[in-house]
Structure 1
Amino acid sequence: MVKKGKQERTVIHLEMNGEHYYLGSLAAIYQFFDSKTLGISYGSLRNFGLSHEKPYQNKHCIIRKGVLLTISKKNDQ
């Protein structure tokens, strides 16, 4: 449960070749990397059902879905 004044945002964590990338959506991944590099198409990744409990992994990358916790801009605590 998130406390008042806090916000949750989905974050996609891409791990590839020892590097870590954090993106705001699955679609954003494909703005920076192509299907060949990732080893999976956008449609297939959407159909996979990515979740916190179910990351996607192949020989090219690991893609995880998580939550980014932030405070509100008003700083109401």
Structure 2
Amino acid sequence: MMADRKIIHLHKDGEDYYFGSVSAIYSVFTKEDIGVSYGSLRNYAISPDKPYSNKHVTIKEGVLISAKGNRGIKNNPPRFSRGG
């Protein structure tokens, strides 16, 4: 079973943005853009049951769901014998 991967969903001005961490938000937006500093947002401890919202943004935490793939799995290729 794959581990759940956390995703941070930020909604601002009718647009949706997705980040891998709270700190990644600040690589795109300033604290003035979203109306809260990184430290305050970190201390708020966003969770799936506890989104953060102010007059600038709504920030939620969710789980990224992905299909289990076979990429990177090496299969044993069939062995062919050459007539001899």
* Structure-2-length-normalised TM-score: 0.78
1:34 paired to 2:36? no
Higher relative contact order (CA 8 A, sep 6+): 1
1:63 paired to 2:68? no
Q: If each structure's strand is expressed as a fraction of its own residues, which one has the higher value?
A: 1
* Structure-1-length-normalised TM-score: 0.84
For 2:69 and 2:34, the matched residues in 1 are separated by 35
Q: If each structure's helix is expressed as a fraction of its own residues, which one has the higher value?
A: 1
Residues 1:8 and 1:68: Cα distance change in structure 2 (over 3 Å): same
Q: How many residues end up aligned between the 2 structures?
A: 72
Single out whichever of 66-75 and 15-24 deviates more from structure 2: 66-75
**Structure 1 stretches lacking a partner, 5+ long:** none
Identity score, percent: 46
- Runs of 4+ in structure 1 displaced over 4 angstroms? none
Secondary structure of 1:64 counterpart: strand
**Structure 2 stretches lacking a partner, 5+ long:** 74-84
Output the aligned Cα RMSD: 1.7
> Which structure's CA Rg is the greater one?
2
For residue 8 of structure 1, report the CA deviation from its aligned partner. 1.8
